[in-house]
Structure 1
Amino acid sequence: MLNKSLFIKIAKITWALFGVGLFFIALWIVAIQDDFGGYFGGMPDLKELENPNSNVASEIYSADGILMGKYYRENRTPVPLDEISPNVVNALIATEDIRFREHSGIDLISLMRVFRGIITFHLDGGGSTISQQLAKNLFNTRTKQYNGTWTTPDNSKILRMGIIKFKEWMLSVKLERSYTKDEILYWYLNTVDFGRNAFGIKVAAKTYFDREPIDLTLPEAATLVGMLKAPTAYNAIGNPERSKFRRNVVFKQMEKYKYITPEERTVLKEEPMVTNENFSEVDAHHNGLAPYLRTVVRNKVMRWCKDNDYDLFSDGLRIYTTIDSRMQKHAEGAVKEHMKELQGNFFDQWKGKNPWRDEYGKEIEGFLEKATRQTERYRLTKIKYDGDSTLIAQEMAKQMNESIKMKVFDWNSKGYEKDSVMTPLDSIKYYKHFMHIGMMVMDPHSGQIKAWVGGINHKHFQFDHVQQGRRQPGSTFKPIVYATAISEKKFHPCFQVTDVPKTFNLESGGTWTARNSGGYTGQTMTLRQGLARSVNTIAAYLIGELGEKEGANKVIKLARRMGIEAPLNPVPSLALGSSEVSVYEMVGAYSTFNNEGEWTEPIFITRIEDKNGRVLRYFSSKTKPALSKDDAATMMYMLMGAGEERGGTALGLWKYKFRKAGVQIAGKTGTTQNYSDGWFMGMTKNLVVGTWVGGDDRSIHFNNFAYGQGSRMAMPAYGMFMDSLYMDSTITDYVNPKEKLVDKSKLSIETDCGKYNRSDIDTLGRNLMPVRGKLEDDIM
């Protein structure tokens, strides 16, 4: 036995070593905390601890509260702890940190187990607590931001990880002091990475099981907790067998700590893996409600964020739009139904031939080569070879003619996509055969946009044809000419004009004569009939009456008051819609007729909130007077003629249920030269709808009037949409047969035009025959 003095000596040495050890540990902690000499790297300050950065996804909602989509770098949406299934919490604690409720951030028992495992070469689990993992997740302790001389990746791995671990231990203790255990669980479950860009339990539950967190079953909860060890290796969708193995390890831990019985574990471990088969991270940004509008909203809000010091992709903003989810679904459904049929007609018409043609019907040479030079592939090749035309041409010839596997859009395939093998050049040729559409639906009184369909498929065609694109409006521009004439010269609907040629002397030299596609009839008709039949010579006559030189400028002034900002060429052909405008601008302009002469700015956002629900910005429409109430009412009466007058271009709408039920509409078709653009503008009492249809380029179009007119290209989409609204019993404010567009008794104009009046149609089919055997609506 050791004598007493030796024992005391050993004890003193032990205590001395212990004291020195404590001193050096304290010195080490202080050195790390203060980043002594820049060797250790920085630490998050107390403010960061109080407001840790959790990169919350911003969300976009419809007016009726439906989540339309998200904007994020990390897809994360927080959820309160009481809205998370206890199955998740139990599985997490049993697997990751059984003494979570007892320790203060560092589990010494687990650390001792780790040290013993290192010595015996038999590791049995890690020593990181939930608090330490949270510290790592919240503060990114292993990134460059907190690197010092000794913690860069090129230094000793043992030294580097030792410093990082100490940082995480220190942060975990601070977290434990700053938050309750439940708050730490809340932070952890809402920040942890579950793979496939699913951050937090709410997004993970939706991604992998299409459930809310509160509804997660025990097998689902165990699967998600099991994935935390390695989200890719144990991914429930990517590696289901390995994920099942890891899930069963979680069950073993839950049995060990009495969360489930051995009998329950026996049953649970045989449960099959069932995950959300419809999940696609790539498609997430393209699917869902109004993907084209979500892109427009993103760009607008990003500009607002830049001016107001917010980050759209991490600050958890909530953006509330004007979109009515029901109307958006009806609009998207109508577009798909109509465009699928129209595309079939287009393919049949150009079968075996290319549709890109000049004004004489001749195929445009070099069209595909020009299209190739507009691709991203060409841009990158040009950069690669520093603009060397020879090398670029050689590389592009090689790349564009090499067959590769690809997925292409197809109306007749499941999900509108099919697998194919073709060259990049063939894919350009294939996609150039498609017809496109833009449709916007707006409440003319509030300016709120209720539906926005920017194209046929956002994944394959991301160009927005509502606001981003401008095309010639054709005859849909004529009502602005008529409104100018009524306002300036006090013309009225019963004023009679003869359909004869009208020629103008141009300031640039030469002349321009308005032509009708079917020639001149010599008939005398009222202005209402002229607008209803879309006779070009009548619109040309009116712009001439406004002044051969200043007439176009007067029309432009009114167009500006009606919200059209696009460049407008002050020439006589403006009367027939020769200058390009957007669907967005046209819908706003037509709202003036339907809103007692007040132009109302179209809006698609009502407010932006922060992640705590505090309103950061409200949005409302700007308004300005454009026409008098009488003139606006007169134009509504005029535009009703398209669906009432003999030969009216909107008579085809009588086949739809909403029209048969007596819903009044005012409308206007539009067709441009060579049938490149088809338009329809339709109005009911509380709704304005604008629709454009055409090819990617103006040279891509139908080759005859039968399919190429606005009443065939665009109007059916409107009819289908309105029928869907009419049949939807939850929507009653916009398609009501009892509502009258115009009270004729209050109009201060003559509406009884004697033998020319065709406004009172009591029996469907009466007086509905076209004037010249076809509906005229052409820009020549």
Structure 2
Amino acid sequence: MRQSVLSFFREISARAWDHAKPQVTSALQRLRRPTWRGVALSVAAIPALVVLYVLILIPFTPGIGDIRKAKIEQPAQIYSADGKLLAEFKPTNRVWVKLSDISPHVVDALISTEDHRFYEHHGIDFKRTAGAALHTFSGDRQGGSTITQQLARNLYPDDIGRAPTLTRKIKEAITAFKIEAIYTKGEILETYLNTVPFLYNAYGIEMAARTYFDKSADDLSVLESATLIGMLKGNSYYNPVINPERALDRRNIVLGQMVKYGRLSQAQFNSLKGKALRVDFERQTEPPGPAPHFAQQLKKWLIAWADAHDYNIYADGLVVRTTIDARLQTMATQALTFQGNQLQSIANAAWNARSACSGHKDVFDAFIRETPEYRSAKDSGMSDGDALKHLSADRGFMKTLCDSKTRVQAAFVAMDPRDGAIKAWVGSRDFAQDPYDHVSQARRQPGSTFKPFVYGAAFEQGAKPDDTFPDQAVEIPLAGGEIWRPSDEDAPSGRPITLRDGLAYSRNRITAQLMESVGPAKVARLARAMGVRDSHLDAVPSLALGTSPVTLKEMVSSYGTIANEGAYVAPMLVTRIEDRKGEVLAEFQPAHADRVMPAASAQTLLDVMRSVVNKGTGSAIRTRFGIRADVAGKTGTTQDNADGWFILMHPQLVAGAWIGFNDSRVTLRSDYWGQGAHSALPIVGDFFQRSLRSRLIDPRVKFAQEPPPGMFDTLRMKLRAWMQYLFTSSSKPETPAPAPRPKPRSAPAPAASAVENASPVAEASAPTDIEPPQIVSPAASQPPILPSPGEASAPAAANSEAPAFASTPAANPASTPASEP
């Protein structure tokens, strides 16, 4: 087939050549004997072809509308619900200034050096272009671009290109003509000086003046103006910070050009040329704004919305109205910063931060092996021991590593449970140092803050707050023959404990028995329905104690479902988008409330969680922060105190905080400060205290009340508890039977690291020894998988909560939530 096609084309080509051969031969003969008419036609054809080529290129140059748009581009502005500017989405680090606010020395230096006939041409200086072409043909390449041509190239690099070709020069010239037809000379100068780059993420003369001389553009002297204009020939080559000698020579050349074209006297030049540069360099960074992590999350969403509706977030002047309350955002930032600084001093002492974390060799050897410096040392031929020894001896390296690893991190988010509106969002202690968002990006084990899902699932199935389980050793068989033995800080007492007290005091053994009764699958399903919709949940018994990593945003959203009487409302960031004239482009309503839990069950769960702050692990909300409003919440602490959590619910606001380190192998090394009741709770308590005092939330508003039990129900529950206590004390049965429950079910075994650490220990209101997890397995134990920095830890035993019971004094009775500093 291929051969027949080739033969066909060869035959067609031969016939075409036979037909055209006489005409070609005649044309070649005329070229050998040219006539005056032929020569004239040939000469005239050249410009005609050039004009034709120019006409062809015109559609491929920026349109007039685009040029006007470049002049008036406005970044999207993000506003809080109370009208405060939160952020501007600028494409570059630039501050636009008017020509009248730029030193005249800058304009004189620019025109003298780059385009001394600027006011005489209309976009192209043909005399200069011809001279540059002659020099280029002779081997001395020179540029002939005018300021207008340079502006065209700076504004539209993608449309015009930067390749040294004739096509690029023609497209540049066409665009320059268009600019001259639309802009005045003053507008061209203003636009050029505000768009030209100056290194170090400084765009425009204003940011250049601040970066290199710590002043505004209107205050630049002759020498400073000449230095900055001199950089335009080659920013890096004439960088006054790195190459001061070259920059000085170039500055003096600019001064000489100013003398040549009458903008500087010879006497002034003689007195100035010997002076030093006197650069006052400081990198300019855009202010992060009051809610930088929120703004970054919003930016991702807004880009997608703008693309779908044909808008540009950098140029179209969009105005975005958000749900953030700037007052609450300020309170949240202040509370988080204060507590973060307090905990940082504790971490510094625990890790010997002043001595570059000396005394923690085993841990920091592992950290060193993860650094680029270690990999470089190994690549150079060093052994593992030599590389560790070499880097450990480098005090600067170790100090940097120690500071980065032991920097306490924190996150906070608050939302209105009624409509899902996010009211405050703080993603880390310092956005400049750690832009990683610990609200919506970081997944960490939630510890005991996950327990309400277990109790909620039980209440859905008819359990009551006064139902009891005996406080006894628990053994739950897992797949593969392993046994999970969750524990608390104190030994089993054998006494019956109500579900209310089990959650209030964060008893692990009680929660584990309840999980066995309800079933992990139902708990995982309820958690997903209530708001944990992005993170994966392993439906295993240890899930009851928070072994599956989740985000703080998911947990606060889930607690919002509890506060909203079992109706889930998706978190909401934006209420309205307007154009630059204030006309509404889009309005957004709260998501539809999805009933995921019966209202009665949600009210029961919330009432039980009131006990957490009234008498349990979160009682510091009452005793330390003096909050008397109707609130409910839960503390959480993970294995080895790696993560501290606290979430508090009010009818108008739900807020949660997380405390930890980017690397979960680093902890506060304190059984007291590492607990959520002492690390994360103060952030939420401080925030609520401020917001209640300022009346941003109403302290008089109450949750809907569940009808109290009747007299008969009360007597029945007390009698059942007394009978169970009586028989349990005498016989101490192996498994409790307070209510009909299915037999312990065999669940799929979690990952090795999860099984080994799946036995949580108690979070105490006083420092206590932590009982290690107990898993009986026929297989050999393997070390847990350690996460990389910034990632959540593997599903291990997440909870280390269980303060002493009200009827069982703590090991250290002097240390209670009420006595917290």
Task: Pick the TM interval, shorter chain.
Answer: 0.5 to 0.7
| 1:142–1:164 contact (8 Å) kept in structure 2 | no
Distance 1:572 1:621 in 2: 35
Give the match for residue 397 of structure 2: 422
Instruction: Report the Cα offset of residue 66 of structure 1.
Output: 2.6
- The match for 1:444 is 417
Name 2:707's counterpart in structure 1.
748
1:68 to 77, 82, 87: 87
User: What corresponds to 1:196 in structure 2?
Assistant: 200
In 2: Cα distance, 1:571 partner to 1:207 partner: 57
User: Which structure has the larger Rg over C-alpha atoms?
Assistant: 2
> Are 2:125 and 1:104 aligned?
no
One-letter identity of the residue aligned with 1:539: T
Structure 1 residues 43 and 190: alpha-carbon distance in aligned structure 2, compared to 1, 3 A threshold: farther
Contact 2:356 2:402 in 1 (8 A): no
Which one of 521, 526, 544 corresponds to residue 558 of structure 1? 526
Paired position in structure 2 for 1:690:
656
Task: Give, in whole Å, the separation in 2 of the partners of 1:649 and 1:665.
Answer: 14
Q: From the superposition, tell whether residues 191 and 626 of structure 1 become closer, same or farther in structure 2 (CA, over 3 Å).
A: same
Residue deviations 1:339-388, cap 9 Å, x none? 332233234345599999xxxxxx997x656555655667899xxxxxxx
Cα distance 1:351–1:372, how it changes in 2: closer, same or farther (>3 A)?
A: closer
Asked whether 1:533 is paired with 2:505, we answer yes
Q: Residues of 2 paired with 1:228 and 1:445: CA distance?
A: 56
Distance in structure 2 (CA, Å) of the matches to 1:172 and 1:476: 64
Report the CA distance between 1:172 and its aligned residue: 2.1
- The DSSP-based 3-state class of the residue aligned with 2:672 is helix
Percent same amino acid among aligned pairs? 31
Q: Could you say which residue in structure 2 is the equivalent of 1:478?
A: 451
2:619 matched to 1:651? yes
CA contact (8 A) 2:473 2:492 kept: no
3-state DSSP of counterpart to 1:705: coil
Relative to structure 1, the CA distance from residue 459 to residue 733 in structure 2 (aligned partners, 3 Å threshold; closer, same or farther) is closer
Name the SS for the 1:469 alignment partner: coil
- Aligned AA for 2:568? W
CA distance in 2, matches of 1:593, 1:142: 55
- The CA deviation string for residues 634-666 of structure 1, in whole angstroms up to 9 with x for no partner, is 433332322222xx212223465xx43644432
What residue is the counterpart of 1:279 in the other structure? 283
Residue 173 of structure 1: which of 170, 177, 188 is its match? 177
> Displacement, 1:76?
5.6
Deviation per residue, 1:579-607 (Å, 9 max, x gap): 32221211110111222322122244567
Cross-structure match for 1:138: 155
Quick one: structure 1 residues 405 and 537, their matched pair in 2 at CA, closer, same or farther if it must change by over 3 Å? closer
Distance 2:100 2:523 in 1: 59
How has the CA–CA distance of structure 1 residues 184 and 643 changed in structure 2, closer, same or farther, with 3 Å as cutoff? same
Distance 2:583 2:389 in 1: 55
* Cα offset, 1:325, TM superposition: 4.5
Separation (CA, whole Å) in 1 of partners of 2:135 and 2:665: 74
Q: CA deviation at 1:564?
A: 1.1
Q: Is the 8 A contact 1:59 1:67 kept in 2?
A: no
Q: How far does the alpha carbon of each residue in 1:284-338 deviate from its partner, in whole angstroms, 9 at most, with x for none? A: 59x5545545554566567778888988889998776544444444434333322
Compared CA separation, residues 76 and 705, structure 1 to 2 (3 A): closer
CA contact (8 A) 2:415 2:654 kept: yes
Q: Would the aligned equivalents of 2:444 and 2:549 in 1 still touch at CA under 8 Å?
A: yes
Report the aligned-residue RMSD: 5.8
3-state SS, counterpart of residue 198 of structure 1: coil
Please tell me whether the aligned partners of residues 62 and 159 of structure 2 are also in contact (alpha carbons under 8 angstroms): no
Structure 1 residue identity aligned to 2:557: G
Distance 1:262 1:556 in 2: 83
SS at match of 1:68: strand
Given residue 602 of structure 2, which amino acid in structure 1 is its aligned partner? A
Q: 2:374, 2:388 within 8 Å by CA — same for their partners in 1?
A: no
2:54 to 18, 26, 33: 33
> 1:504–1:572: 8 Å Cα contact kept in structure 2?
no
Distance between the aligned counterparts of 1:289 and 1:688, measured in 2? Answer: 20
Would you say the 8 A contact 1:43–1:146 is kept in 2?
no
**1:70 offset after TM fit, Å?**
4.6
CA distance in 1, matches of 2:486, 2:602: 26
- Could you report, residue by residue, the CA deviation over 1:41-82 in whole angstroms, capped at 9, with x for unpaired residues? x7772454542596989667352453536564xx16685969
Map 1:661-676 → 2, pairs under 5 A: 662-676=628-642
Q: For the residues of structure 1 that align with 2:242 and 2:107, how far apart are their CA atoms?
A: 25
1: CA distance, partners of 2:292 / 2:381: 36
CA deviation map 1:235-282 (0-9, x unaligned)? 78778999899999999999999999999999999999999866345x
Instruction: Map 1:245-394 onto structure 2 (within 5 A).
Output: 279-280=283-284, 288-293=289-294, 296-297=297-298, 322-351=323-352, 371=367, 374-375=370-371, 394=382
- The CA deviation at 1:484 is 2.0
Shift in alpha-carbon separation, 1:346–1:499, aligned structure 2, 3 A: farther
1:660 and 2:626 are equivalent in the alignment: yes
Q: Which moved more, 1:476-485 or 1:245-254?
A: 245-254
Contact 1:455/1:462, CA 8 A, preserved across alignment: yes
Structure 1 counterpart of 2:570: 601
Q: CA deviation at 1:712?
A: 1.5
In 1, Cα distance between the equivalents of 2:238 and 2:623? 57
For 2:280 and 2:632, the matched residues in 1 are separated by 46
Deviations 1:203-253 (A, max 9, x none): 55776688998xx45759957667656655777877899989999999999
Residues 62, 324 of structure 1: 8 Å contact kept: no
Q: Displacement of 1:501 after TM fit? A: 1.8
For 1:506 and 1:720, how far apart are their aligned partners in 2?
A: 43
Provide the C-alpha distance between the structure 2 equivalents of 1:89 and 1:483, rounded to a whole number of angstroms: 70
Decide whether aligned partners of structure 1 residues 573 and 108 sit closer, same or farther in structure 2, where only a CA change above 3 A counts.
Answer: closer
Structure 1's 234 and 28: CA in aligned 2 closer, same or farther, altered over 3 A? farther
CA drift of 1:404 comes to 11
Would the aligned equivalents of 2:207 and 2:284 in 1 still touch at CA under 8 Å? no
Within 1, Cα distance between the matches of 2:249 and 2:423? 49
Match of 2:607 among 623, 632, 637: 637
- Cα distance change of structure 1 residues 500 and 364 upon mapping to structure 2, 3 Å threshold: farther
The alpha carbon displacement at 1:534 in A equals: 2.0
Residues 2-42 of structure 1: CA deviation (Å, up to 9, x unaligned): xxxxxxxxxxxxxxxxx99996994685386379xxxxxx7
The answer to whether residue 719 in structure 2 is matched with residue 719 in structure 1 is: no
**Superposition TM-score, scaled by structure 2 size:** 0.64
State how many pairs are aligned: 673
SS in 2 for 1:338: helix
**Aligned pair in 2 of structure 1 residues 402, 297: CA closer, same or farther (>3 Å)?**
farther
2:537 counterpart SS class: coil
Counterparts of 2:663 and 2:447, CA distance in 1: 16
Out of 696, 699, 704, the residue aligned to residue 733 of structure 1 is 696
How much has 1:524 moved relative to structure 2?
5.4
Structure 2 gaps, min length 5: 1-39, 137-141, 719-804
Aligned counterparts of 2:488 and 2:521: Cα–Cα separation in 1: 24
Distance 1:313 1:639, change over 3 A: same
8 Å Cα contact 2:58-2:171 kept in structure 1? yes
Is residue 74–residue 316 contact of structure 2 (8 Å, CA) maintained in 1? yes
Report the CA distance between 1:552 and its aligned residue: 2.3
Contact kept, 8 Å, 1:131 with 1:172, in 2: the verdict is yes
* Mapped pair 1:569 → 2:538: yes
1:15 maps to none
Segments of 5+ residues of structure 1 without an aligned counterpart are 1-18, 36-41, 119-124, 152-159, 357-362, 382-389, 407-419, 758-766
- Which of 460, 471, 477 does residue 500 from structure 1 map onto? 471
For the 8 Å contact 1:105–1:129, the answer to whether it is kept is: yes
